[in-house]
């Protein structure tokens, strides 16, 4: 059952103003990858958005996980 992210928008969207952050974690073939995201925002009920500052490392991790899931 999907989660409606808009319920959390007030808390998430002000994280940067409060000098706080959200954490995005993935786990793929190379093990876990954790990234702190101070710019996290609720884009809509199904999507989060953030400013990617890791030069695509998190995007690569998502890609590896997606490829692994598609191959099973």
Residue 67 has pLDDT above 70, yes or no: no
Q: Which of 9 and 16 is assigned the larger pLDDT?
A: 9
Domain count, the chain: 1
Q: 35: which strand partners? A: 24
- DSSP class of 33: E
Q: What is the pTM of this model?
A: 0.60
Whole-angstrom distance, CA of residue 70 vs CA of residue 27 = 15
In tens, the pLDDT along 16-60 reads 788 888 888 888 788 888 888 878 999 999 999 988 776 666 667
Residue 66 has pLDDT above 70, yes or no: no
Tell me the residue range of the domain where 43 lies: 5-70
Report pLDDT for 32: 87
Report pLDDT for 28: 78
């Amino acid at each position: 059952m999907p989660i409606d992210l808009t319920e959390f928008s007030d808390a998430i969207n002000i994280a940067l103003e409060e000098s706080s952050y959200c954490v995005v974690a993935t786990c793929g073939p190379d093990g876990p990858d954790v990234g702190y995201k101070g710019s996290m925002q609720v884009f809509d009920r199904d999507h989060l958005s953030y400013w990617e500052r890791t030069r695509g490392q998190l995007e690569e991790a998502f890609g590896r996980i997606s490829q692994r899931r598609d191959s099973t």
